[in-house]
């Protein structure tokens, strides 16, 4: 880990010098190479988009059509609207509830985790105190421990505390991002001038105030990265809620949809629910990814993950 | 400068205490003894029970009850079947001190739930009063230590399903004994068909054969469990199928009801299957099978053992965290012993054989168009229920036992024998029991 | 001021540390503790008393003697040796192509490749399973037309079907990190290369690859950790493939041991071993890449 860490420390200096996207980056280019390159990119794009294309079509079909018609084209009926309504109303609108749960877990978790990681990383970078390196080293170790290896003992612990099978059982672990703290520390020590803090102190600002005004502002690019990283990883989490939650009304969308899809063998009508549900959950995510990838790139380039 | 030191010490103590607490606490979740606590009296007002089950459309059955019992409303929640995720959910809910009032649990899985103090002993709520209405063999399988831990919900008496035409081709009748069965299998091999398959990855049917042959693998004693998997009854079955596999009388190439099985059955390459009553619905899935299949009694092991056996079967069990065990028991007994309960369970949920010998269900009476006009339920399965091994007891590690057995069975492919596999599995199962902190010994042969 | 400075960092770190203690340190200690514990039960089910005892390394010995668990670790090592390099190669090539001036519509392609990252592994697996299951899959139908019989879910193929899902999900993410690093390469370096008459290949090989090494190292370490925790994909796919048993991956095995066998102590030992394996593999990789760079 130390290797990455020292490299990371060097990074921002070089980053700041980086020219914003010079047009002529490649030495040799020609019409032929444009065609070949773009051709490769198109083929790869097909690979990434085909499953999504398939589910868009599948969501327009009845279960009967799903098996009878060609998977890469529309079926004999256009059932999209019925399927969507069915998804949204089935079992008293439980799909909407799952979606809201996911938004809650990911939203609150990501905001909280980012704030706590920022405060911790800032403290580790900007203050000298005993045990600083020990803490940083321990947290860094936390980055390397697989989350799922922790989920199991965490469940046992939470079940003793009476927290298992509650919103807290998924929210509390989501509020911690060792990776986020790591990024924030690196970023804070590289890009935040201590003399600014001194100036603020002379103005009579309290330490916490300095962090909340000055610190958070300067850390913003890193915070965006941490937030997005945590948002996606909570949204995608499956093992933790699976282990923690028994009550389906607390499920996030991952667990809920899997619950539907595991019923298709017994009850084929769940095919319509599953394909429709997958489509409905992929659309907002797809849009989010397309919008967010800009910020993501921004956060990464200006700051941290190197 | 004393502050940091003492703070660190404090932190150290705190951490140490927390560690000790968590180690002690995490040793075995769900170790509160629900059946030592005082019983919960019947509720005064309206209660709502939840029932987790993998039966489809179970709510339709519950709705009939709900209409008549405004004070005890039952809500059903679908969970994945048994080991496909259902039990995991139940165990995890129990460890978190929550979970439904009622859950569908297979007969063979009940003891695993008792092991974690997950089930209410229903004898404390008067379950024994209902014992007379249930098949005594099944009642025995839900009774441990003088308690009753689940209400039998369905079962699977075993019979011999066969394709009439294929047997007639070799001029044969359904076999009466397993020796007849082997002779018939040999004749069918000359006609390029198999009589049956033998699954190596699911030991359920092997266990059912052993049970029929008179085996009782596990027995309970005052001082713990005893095991006997290498007695004559089991070895007879192991040797028989070792021989059948060696002589290519059965195929191990596919499992019952796998896609390959369906295609072999449809193409006349597979003449029969010895399976439980609930296999009738699966056989109806064989394409073009209508009118071709019949059902006969299971072949017997000569003069030894029993006329039939059982495979599958589940209970409605009341979970430890239920606040309304009284009402839950009422619903469970209504569902499994009333005419309308049994009839609607069959109609909506396609449930297995009724645990109530007096009521097999209206739709299971009379001739079946699919099975060549035979009244197979009344002719074969209703009598089969009365000819089962009454002494069988399931142990708390059935799933592990089955996994160990199937791991050993798979060595068949590389030249092992079932006889060896069973003997080795017995040793491994004893180890697994001890790892659970249970005491087990080899039964003395007498 | 000194007094301020002494307490401020602790105040700032308090929420993080409290949560870190609760959700990382305590569970890890609890796991280690319970992995060294065993229970003894009196009576048939422990109804006459349950005693916890110190077990030494019994649970670990049990996990290491469990053929299914060891096989699952071996399977993940094989998976990692194949899937991680393939994915990293793909991500690197795509990043370099997208950053080369030859690429048209780089914004569109970047978004298309990145899209799957936002789709949870479970949902991605449900999606792909439709393309794997005979009868539903247009791919199998299409292959059958030209006489090829595809089986994505058989014992020898299903591991690679899972690898495909993982690659599909994470390639775009890794590509984005590499692109970020590529963008930080100073323009002067390219200028210099052009003056020297370097070809596109040479630029990629001599300038870009060495400079994106840190990003590659970091993403590879994350991929190794990710491989060790593979769970959702095989678990979801197991409903449509009989080739996936309850111990297909180390995590699945720990989950089964805990919640199907109810052997929490043995499961804790497995969880500790999984964490150790991820640790050792990540460190081994870092050491390896470090030594090369010296």
Give B296-324 pLDDT, tens digit per residue.
Answer: 999 999 999 999 999 999 999 999 999 99
The verdict on residue B344 lying in a domain is yes
Domain count, chain A: 1
Q: Quick one: average pLDDT of B166-193?
A: 93
Show which residues on chain B lie within 8 Å of chain C, measured between beta carbons: 18-19, 22-24, 26-29, 31, 33, 35, 83-84, 87-88, 91-92, 111-112, 114-117, 144-145, 220, 224-225, 258, 396-397, 399-400, 403, 407, 435-439
The verdict on residue C138 lying in a domain is yes
Work out the minimum CA distance from B26 to partner chain A, whole angstroms: 6
Of C40, C52, C261, the CB nearest to B400: C261
Of C26, C29, C44, the CB nearest to B224: C44
Query: What is the C-alpha separation between B137 and B385, in angstroms, rounded?
Result: 9
The verdict on residue B13 lying in a domain is no
CATH label of the domain that carries residue C223: 1.10.3720.10
The verdict on residue C51 lying in a domain is no
The verdict on residue C33 lying in a domain is no
Alpha-carbon dihedral sign for residues C88, C93, C94, C95: positive
Domain count, chain C: 1
Q: Which residue has the higher pLDDT, C203 or B130?
A: B130
The verdict on residue C50 lying in a domain is no
pLDDT at C4: 59
The verdict on residue B5 lying in a domain is no
The verdict on residue C25 lying in a domain is no
**Residue range of the domain that includes B281:** 156-310+389-442
The verdict on residue B23 lying in a domain is no
Chain C CB contacts of A208 below 8 Å: 8, 11-12
**Chains interfacing with C (3 or more CB pairs < 8 Å):** A, B
**Residue range of the domain that includes A190:** 92-273
Question: What confidence category does residue C3 fall into, taking pLDDT thresholds of 50, 70 and 90?
Answer: low
pLDDT at A31: 80
Q: Which residue has the higher pLDDT, B99 or B301?
A: B301
Residue C36, pLDDT above cutoff 90: yes
The verdict on residue A117 lying in a domain is yes
Work out the minimum CA distance from B216 to partner chain C, whole angstroms: 17
Do B55 and B138 have their domain in common?
yes
pLDDT at A169: 93
Chain B residue with minimum CA distance to A161: B96
Chain Cα centroid distance, residue A35: 34
The verdict on residue C24 lying in a domain is no
Do B145 and B187 have their domain in common?
no
| HEC sequence for C66-105 | CHHHHHHHHHHHHHHHHHHHHHHHHHHHHHHHHHCCCCCC
Query: What is the C-alpha separation between C136 and C123, in angstroms, rounded?
Result: 17
Label residue B67 left, alpha or beta by phi (over 0 means left) and psi (-120 to 50 means alpha): alpha
**Strand locations in chain A, DSSP E?**
none
How does the average pLDDT of chain B come out, rounded? 89
The verdict on residue A187 lying in a domain is yes
Query: What is the C-alpha separation between B40 and A228, in angstroms, rounded?
Result: 50
Copy the structure tokens of residue C64.
């290491």
Do B82 and B150 have their domain in common?
yes
Do B287 and B325 have their domain in common?
no
Q: Quick one: average pLDDT of B234-242?
A: 96
The verdict on residue C17 lying in a domain is no
Per-residue pLDDT in tens (0 to 9) along chain A, 306 residues: 333 333 333 333 333 334 444 444 444 457 888 888 889 999 999 999 988 888 888 888 887 777 777 777 888 888 888 889 989 998 888 999 999 999 999 999 999 999 999 999 999 998 988 888 899 889 988 887 877 778 888 988 888 888 888 999 999 999 999 989 988 998 888 888 888 888 988 988 888 999 998 999 989 888 988 998 899 889 989 999 998 888 888 999 999 998 888 877 666 778 888 889 999 888 887 787 777 777 665 444 444 333
Residues 6+ apart with CB under 8 A from B186: B247, B249
Residue B85, pLDDT above cutoff 60: yes
Q: Quick one: average pLDDT of B11-37?
A: 55
The verdict on residue A17 lying in a domain is no
Do B206 and B77 have their domain in common?
no
Residue B260, pLDDT above cutoff 80: no
Q: How much is the ipTM here?
A: 0.85
pLDDT at B4: 40
Please write the tens of the pLDDT for every residue from C147-171.
888 888 888 889 999 999 999 999 9
The verdict on residue C252 lying in a domain is yes
Q: Which of A265-269, B67-71, B177-181 has the lowest mean pLDDT?
A: A265-269
Cβ distance A175 to A167 under 8 Å? no
Chain B residue with minimum CA distance to A258: B80
Chain Cα centroid distance, residue B418: 22
pLDDT at B208: 97
DSSP A214: I
Of C101, C185, C272, the CB nearest to A23: C101
Residue B331, pLDDT above cutoff 60: yes
Domain end residue (candidates: B375, B405, B423): B375
Query: What is the C-alpha separation between B353 and B359, in angstroms, rounded?
Result: 10
Domain count, chain B: 2
**Residue range of the domain that includes C88:** 66-293
State the Rg of chain B over Cα: 24
Q: Do A120 and C17 touch (CB under 8 A)?
A: yes
Nearest to C159 by CA among C70, C75, C74: C75
Mean pLDDT comparison of A150-159, A213-222, B45-54, C173-182, highest-scoring range: B45-54
CB contact A6 to B (< 8 Å) = no
CB pairs under 8 A between B and C: 99
Query: What is the C-alpha separation between B264 and B286, in angstroms, rounded?
Result: 9
How much helix, strand and coil, in percent to the nearest 5, is found in chain C? 75, 5, 20
Q: Do A261 and C126 touch (CB under 8 A)?
A: yes
State the Rg of chain A over Cα: 24
Do B348 and B371 have their domain in common?
yes
pLDDT at A265: 67
Do B333 and B192 have their domain in common?
no
Cβ distance C248 to B420 under 8 Å? no
The verdict on residue B107 lying in a domain is yes
Please write the tens of the pLDDT for every residue from B400-414.
899 889 888 887 777
CATH label of the domain that carries residue B63: 3.40.190.10
pLDDT at A9: 37
Share of chain B above pLDDT 70, in %: 92
pLDDT at C75: 93
Chain C CB contacts of A117 below 8 Å: 16
């Amino acid at each position: 880990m130390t290797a990455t860490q020292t490299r990371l420390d060097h990074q921002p200096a070089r980053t700041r010098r980086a020219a914003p996207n010079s047009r002529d980056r490649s030495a040799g280019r020609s019409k032929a190479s444009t065609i070949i390159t773009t051709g490769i990119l198109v083929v790869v794009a097909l690979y990434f988009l085909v499953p999504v294309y398939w589910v868009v079509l599948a969501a327009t079909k009845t279960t009967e059509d799903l098996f009878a018609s060609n998977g890469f084209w529309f079926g004999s009926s256009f059932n999209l609207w019925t399927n969507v309504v069915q998804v949204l109303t089935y079992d008293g609108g439980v799909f909407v509830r799952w979606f809201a749960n996911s938004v809650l877990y990911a939203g609150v978790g990501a905001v909280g985790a980012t704030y706590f990681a920022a405060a911790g990383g800032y403290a580790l970078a900007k203050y000298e105190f005993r045990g600083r390196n020990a803490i940083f080293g321990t947290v860094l170790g936390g980055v390397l421990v697989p989350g799922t290896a922790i989920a199991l003992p965490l469940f046992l612990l939470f079940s003793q505390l009476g927290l298992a099978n509650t919103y807290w059982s998924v929210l509390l672990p989501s509020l911690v991002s060792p990776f986020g703290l790591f990024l924030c520390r690196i970023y804070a020590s590289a890009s935040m001038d201590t003399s600014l803090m001194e100036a603020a102190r002379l103005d009579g600002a309290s330490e916490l105030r300095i962090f909340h005004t000055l610190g958070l502002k300067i850390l913003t690019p890193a915070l965006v990265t941490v937030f997005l990283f945590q948002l996606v990883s909570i949204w995608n989490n499956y093992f933790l809620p699976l282990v923690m939650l028994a009550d389906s009304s607390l499920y996030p969308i991952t667990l809920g949809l899997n619950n539907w899809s595991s019923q298709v063998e017994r009850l084929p009508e769940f095919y319509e629910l599953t394909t429709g549900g997958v489509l409905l959950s992929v659309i907002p995510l797809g849009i989010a990814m397309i919008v967010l990838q800009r910020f993501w790139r921004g956060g990464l380039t200006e700051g941290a993950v190197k | 400068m004393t502050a940091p030191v003492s703070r660190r010490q404090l932190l150290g103590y705190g951490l140490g205490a927390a560690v000790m607490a968590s180690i002690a606490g995490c040793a075995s979740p769900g170790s509160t003894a629900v059946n030592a606590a005082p019983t919960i009296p019947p509720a005064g007002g309206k209660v709502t029970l939840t029932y987790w089950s993998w039966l489809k459309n179970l709510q339709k059955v519950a709705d009939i009850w709900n209409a008549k019992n405004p004070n005890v409303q039952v809500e059903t929640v679908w969970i994945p079947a048994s080991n496909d995720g259902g039990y995991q959910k139940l165990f995890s809910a129990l460890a978190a001190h929550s979970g439904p009032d009622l859950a569908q649990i297979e007969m063979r899985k009940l003891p695993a739930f008792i092991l974690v103090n997950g089930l209410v002993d229903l004898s404390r709520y008067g379950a024994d009063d209902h014992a007379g209405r249930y098949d005594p063999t099944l009642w025995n399988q839900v009774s441990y230590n003088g308690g009753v831990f689940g209400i039998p919900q369905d079962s699977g008496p075993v019979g011999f399903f066969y394709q009439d035409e294929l047997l007639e081709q070799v001029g044969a009748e359904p076999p009466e004994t397993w020796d007849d069965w082997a002779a018939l299998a040999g004749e069918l091999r000359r006609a390029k068909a198999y009589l049956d398959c033998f699954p190596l990855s699911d030991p359920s049917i092997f266990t059912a054969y052993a049970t029929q042959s008179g085996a009782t693998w596990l027995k309970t004693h005052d001082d713990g469990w005893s095991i006997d998997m290498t007695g004559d009854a089991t070895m007879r079955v192991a040797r028989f199928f070792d021989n059948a596999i060696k002589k290519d009388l059965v195929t191990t190439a596919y499992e019952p009801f796998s896609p390959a099985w369906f295609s072999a059955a449809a193409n006349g390459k597979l003449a029969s299957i010895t399976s439980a009553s609930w296999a009738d619905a699966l056989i109806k899935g064989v394409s073009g099978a209508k009118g071709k299949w019949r059902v006969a009694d299971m072949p017997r092991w000569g003069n030894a053992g029993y006329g039939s056996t059982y495979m599958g079967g589940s209970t409605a069990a009341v979970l430890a965290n239920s606040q309304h065990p009284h009402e839950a028991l009422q619903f469970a007994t209504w569902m499994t012993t009333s005419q309308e309960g049994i009839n609607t369970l069959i109609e909506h949920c396609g449930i297995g054989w009724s645990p109530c010998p007096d009521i097999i269900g209206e739709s299971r009476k009379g001739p079946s168009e699919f099975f060549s006009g035979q009244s197979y339920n009344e002719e074969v399965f209703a009598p089969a229920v009365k000819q089962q091994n009454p002494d069988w007891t399931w142990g708390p590690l059935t799933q592990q036992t089955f996994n160990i057995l199937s791991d050993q069975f798979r060595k068949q492919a590389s030249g092992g024998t079932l006889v060896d596999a069973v003997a080795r599995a017995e040793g491994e199962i004893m180890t697994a029991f001890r790892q659970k902190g249970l005491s087990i010994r080899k039964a003395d042969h007498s | 001021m000194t007094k301020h400075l002494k307490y401020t960092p602790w105040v700032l770190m308090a929420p993080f540390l409290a949560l870190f203690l609760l959700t990382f340190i305590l569970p890890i200690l609890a796991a280690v503790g319970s992995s060294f514990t065993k229970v003894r039960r009196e009576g048939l089910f422990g109804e006459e008393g349950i005693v916890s005892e110190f077990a030494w390394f019994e649970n670990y010995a049990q996990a290491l003697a469990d053929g299914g668990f060891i096989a699952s670790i071996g399977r993940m090592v094989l998976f990692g040796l194949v899937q991680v390099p393939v994915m990293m190669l793909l991500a690197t090539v795509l990043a370099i192509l997208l950053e080369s001036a030859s690429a048209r519509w780089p914004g569109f392609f970047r978004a298309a490749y990145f899209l799957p990252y936002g789709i949870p592994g479970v949902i991605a697996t449900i999606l792909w399973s439709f393309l794997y299951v005979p009868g539903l899959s247009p791919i199998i139908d299409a292959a059958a037309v030209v006489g090829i019989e595809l089986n994505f879910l058989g014992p020898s193929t299903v591991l690679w079907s899972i690898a495909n899902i993982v690659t599909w999900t994470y390639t775009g993410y890794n590509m984005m990190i590499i692109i970020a690093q590529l963008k930080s390469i100073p323009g002067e370096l390219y200028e210099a290369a052009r003056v020297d008459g370097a070809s596109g290949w040479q630029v990629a090989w001599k300038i870009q690859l060495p400079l994106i090494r840190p990003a590659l190292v970091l993403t590879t370490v994350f991929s190794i950790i990710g491989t060790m925790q593979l769970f959702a994909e095989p678990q979801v796919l197991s409903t449509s493939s009989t080739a996936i048993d309850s111990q297909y991956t180390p995590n699945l095995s720990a989950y089964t041991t805990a919640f199907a066998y109810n052997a929490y102590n043995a499961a804790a030992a497995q969880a500790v071993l999984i964490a150790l394996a991820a640790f050792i593999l990540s460190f081994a990789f870092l050491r390896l890449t470090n030594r090369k760079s010296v």
